[in-house]
Structure 1
């Protein structure tokens, strides 16, 4: 019984002690709070009146400060009684300093702030840009927005294909075919139905017998893109029914540019084969004859004198005409049969250079390009046959073969331009 009373007395003492400690702490905090003050308020935008989030509020000369919350509210506690200077700063707003803020012990000093946006007149800023059309992505975006049906090839694809000129590049365009290495046909129609433009201007043909322009004159290094239009639009001339080929060249480079390119190709029917081409001259690799195929000087002089070369009929009763025809005939090279020549791989080379230089206060742009290509084509197992229909078409069942010969062809093509 005595022990129970003692334990009860001990528990009562512990509770009394705990209560005294809590009271002492509360009294101390309350006493301290009464000795210090608080500054609080709201920060808003001077133009819109909207509260600003994250504004830095600092007490000048101390390390105390805070930032506004989501509602633009701030509160700085634990300030001793006195006069303070408050500094408010925020990105893109003018810094604001408030002096003479009185803080009294146990009181809350209300300080609402209004920040003015910080602006600076920089004048007019003009931004210009041009569509990039030297890659497939840019051309595809342009074709998606176009009202006409077209195909195109960019400088990026031309470079990857290894084409040395515009004619070689057009062989990669759907619906276009190149004849004789320079004339383009669109959708299988002849050159008279095709129109060729350079940067929007129509090009005249240098061949009096053809309407199509010789596309092998444009080196691939100067090309930005080639677009073939297959439908009419109001901004294009209506003098084509097959298609319109529009060649766009590159602009002058803004800085010094120098490019080299080389490519090679293999023809399964012609490369590293014996082709019936003939005896070459010394400068055949330049695309010019070295004199082996030229008209003899004696024949040229005879024709320049105004005389006509005698015919076989003229020589029957005229010994002088016979002697003249014999002499002129022997002046020619007597080698007419083509000889076999070892071919190599198709190859092409090119380089371009460009820059802009200041001249009398203005920029003068220049660009130059050169390309060279050599290719072989041919076959040894071709055939040419001609047949005649004998009798009435309805009654005849067989064709009479008049000609059946083996066809052998060899060709060496040299293209260069600049």
Structure 2
């Protein structure tokens, strides 16, 4: 009993002493700033000298070290690319907080009087969140650090992990469910080149992921960015100044379950296909005439013999995917200047096979009944692609707060493919077997010379400028197409089962040859000036600038085809490998001759001039409420010269000045929460191809496409409301609402036109889109077992409607390309001690209209819209670093392997939908493994 009482007394005394001891501690808190820019630094390291106590700054640059015994301490503060600083003799008193304001300078080393300047890191997750928080408008982004955790090979793959972003055709970006035409992209503060003849979009598959520093997507209009965007304005920044000297070499390989190590077919090949370009095998001979019209039949036969007429597929084995990359980074100190260079070269070679079920339907006459089949095909596709990418960037930094950059990006993509089609053509009533032999080379080059200078007291004045040039080249030499038809009646033994559908006049789909070439040059210049003012305590910042862009495009298509010499030609019954042999190209009744079917409308020339200027104001209205906004004016002059389908000259000359106001309000609820409200007007202008009268036969879709010269621009009113929260360093949460009102939106629409579908472009009367977005990035370190895990998730829910006059037979529907929902999610494991990273990432987008149908006579008899069905995508990536310089990465893409499906919603019984598939296939699982060694 006494022992128990004694133990209680001892325990009580101990608690009193402990409590008194705890009460006699203090703490050090503060904020770390960039001295030059007066911006808080995220992730700076704070250490109590002589101890292991320390912390890092959060997203607001704040830090706090608690439970310090009273006394004097020295505080060491460091941050990469900044001069370390020691705050000495800090007195900590009992039960008190010491508050510090610490400034760091962007100077890393001082050697013999030489000042070394540096740039801050922009490729980390923390840096990206800091950029989003300090942005003056609604924005999202992705860093190189996050990209490295995936298997994404190029920009088109990793960019879909940004909130509200998805991908069409594996290369075109869709933001907030709005298709590629409503988005704009710049590369390093200059307009991007486009090699797409048929798309108003930048093809994001031309930029390897290894060359990216970060990507930002602005979702609300601002005075300093172009007005020709509605979904998102995408800024892609390539790698620039290295933080250290290094040489990195990487190799990876992979197999796809549907393709690699299986049989693979090719028809025409050249010795340089593996490098992404044709060695001239597919080109027209040098002495080939510019036109075959007016030549004699004997001349036409001789010229026909000059072409490659082989239709005999040869079988090989699809080797595993091959990827190589080498990157070099180097810094030099020259007097008071620092010079840095990053050079990167990447190469990949890949095979792909697809077995596609391809159907097309005619008009449904009775709800609930299957519509007649227009065609029912099985397409076997064999694609080999090669990519070469070269990045070569230089940066010069001086002690006078001046930076000059010279950036270069070159990409070459070559794709050779054959398509073998079998099935029933319901429109003509024949069973057919068709072939396409196709090669495409896309080359893009982008170069910018840019500079930035700051001066004045506290560096309150800033000017930056950029001069850019971009080249886009697309070459499709000798795209061959051949159609054969099954003969129903018994044939003599030496006849083939299928005969070539060659007529007396050439047809691009039956025995046609197309030669297409696009060349586009873009020159640009931009200058921006920024001034911070102090007007009796009011400290606004004013910005202004000008931008000019001149673009020219030349597109030429030459269409040839073989025709038979008489109504009955026995040669059409020969096997496909023999039909167009040299002995059969002659003027005899059983022979073939080459003819020209090129029309004047198969070529067009376009040039456009864009001149823009803006003025913007950034200021605090109250201590917590800030305003950023202004006005932008754009002058656009667009000229097109071509011919209509009847051979008559066609000229489009659009010259207009538009004014675009915008406003962004930011309310800082506290250090970790802010509210944004944004409004502005943007525009969506017709692209060159959309106003060109060129008729193009698309063999893959078994359809034709043509432009419309009287398309109008679409004006859009944009409104955004978003709440952002930054709980801890590296964590983020946001929820937002947006509304967009479209006047005369431009869409791809279907029109019935005989044997094949015809797609063209048209303006609807109006449309609207309203949606909600949510994003979460959260560490699980609060749970001890999950301390190395974090989760990332973003989602969007969107509702849109295209509106028509009440008397119109057109039905209201979602906008073309608009997804009703998008979800990206991932769980990541990062163990710094073991240097092990594991990532599981998920992506899905809701069903969206790929092309708009059209009513036929009345709304009960129409062509339904073409929808792309949602796919659930799941990827797994594992990486491990050994000895600090060897990284092994392995993974699986498309673990669920769901079908890609294009379908149409026909009318079922009792007002139900009857979904009938138009195209569907499986892409297969992709396994990869690779290594990267850094010297």
TM-score, length of structure 2 as denominator length: 0.27
What is the number of residues matched between the two proteins? 282
Counterpart position of 2:652: none
Q: CA deviation at 1:240?
A: 0.5
CA offsets 1:274-318 (integer angstroms, 9 cap, x no match): 2344353222110112343232x2xx41315xxx325xxx7xxxx
CA offsets 1:30-55 (integer angstroms, 9 cap, x no match): xxxxxxxxxxxxxxxxxxxxxxxxxx
- 1:127 and 2:101 matched: no
Q: CA deviation at 1:416?
A: 0.9
Q: 8 Å contact 1:195–1:240 — kept in the other structure?
A: yes
- In 1, the alpha carbon distance for the partners of 2:257 and 2:140 equals 29
Q: CA deviation at 1:402?
A: 3.4
Counterpart position of 2:83: none
**What SS is found at the alignment partner of 2:302?**
helix
**What SS is found at the alignment partner of 1:253?**
coil
Counterpart position of 2:259: 270
Q: CA deviation at 1:246?
A: 1.2
- 1:222 and 2:211 matched: yes
Match of 1:196 among 177, 185, 197: 185
Counterpart position of 1:387: 361
Match of 1:288 among 267, 273, 277: 277
Q: CA deviation at 1:352?
A: 1.4
Change (3 A) 1:345 1:205: same
Counterpart position of 1:409: 381
Counterpart position of 1:352: 327
1:109-124 residue pairs with structure 2 within 5 A?
Answer: none
1:176-325 residue pairs with structure 2 within 5 A?
Answer: 176-178=165-167, 182-205=171-194, 210-295=199-284, 297=285, 300-304=286-290, 308-310=291-293, 321-325=296-300
- 1:156 and 2:142 matched: no
Q: Which has the higher helix share?
A: 1
Q: 8 Å contact 2:239–2:342 — kept in the other structure?
A: no
Moved more, 344-353 or 171-180: 171-180
**What SS is found at the alignment partner of 1:261?**
strand
Change (3 A) 1:283 1:141: same
Change (3 A) 1:337 1:386: farther
**What SS is found at the alignment partner of 2:256?**
coil
**What SS is found at the alignment partner of 2:106?**
coil
Q: 8 Å contact 2:267–2:310 — kept in the other structure?
A: no
Q: CA deviation at 1:333?
A: 1.6
TM-score, length of structure 1 as denominator length: 0.57
Q: 8 Å contact 1:221–1:351 — kept in the other structure?
A: no
Q: CA deviation at 1:210?
A: 4.4
Change (3 A) 1:246 1:366: same
4+ residue runs over 6 A deviation: none
Q: 8 Å contact 1:204–1:211 — kept in the other structure?
A: no
CA offsets 1:343-400 (integer angstroms, 9 cap, x no match): 12333221211222234652222221111122222312x222223237x546x83422
- In 2, the alpha carbon distance for the partners of 1:147 and 1:345 equals 46
- Higher relative contact order, chain-length normalized (CA < 8 Å, sep 6+): 1
Q: Which runs of 5+ in 2 are unaligned?
A: 1-69, 71-87, 90-101, 108-118, 391-935
Q: 8 Å contact 1:162–1:262 — kept in the other structure?
A: no
Q: 8 Å contact 1:164–1:349 — kept in the other structure?
A: no
Counterpart position of 1:373: 348
Larger Rg belongs to: 1
Q: Which runs of 5+ in 1 are unaligned?
A: 1-69, 71-90, 93-123, 315-319
CA offsets 1:327-356 (integer angstroms, 9 cap, x no match): 111221221354444212333221211222
Change (3 A) 1:389 1:252: closer
Change (3 A) 1:209 1:163: same
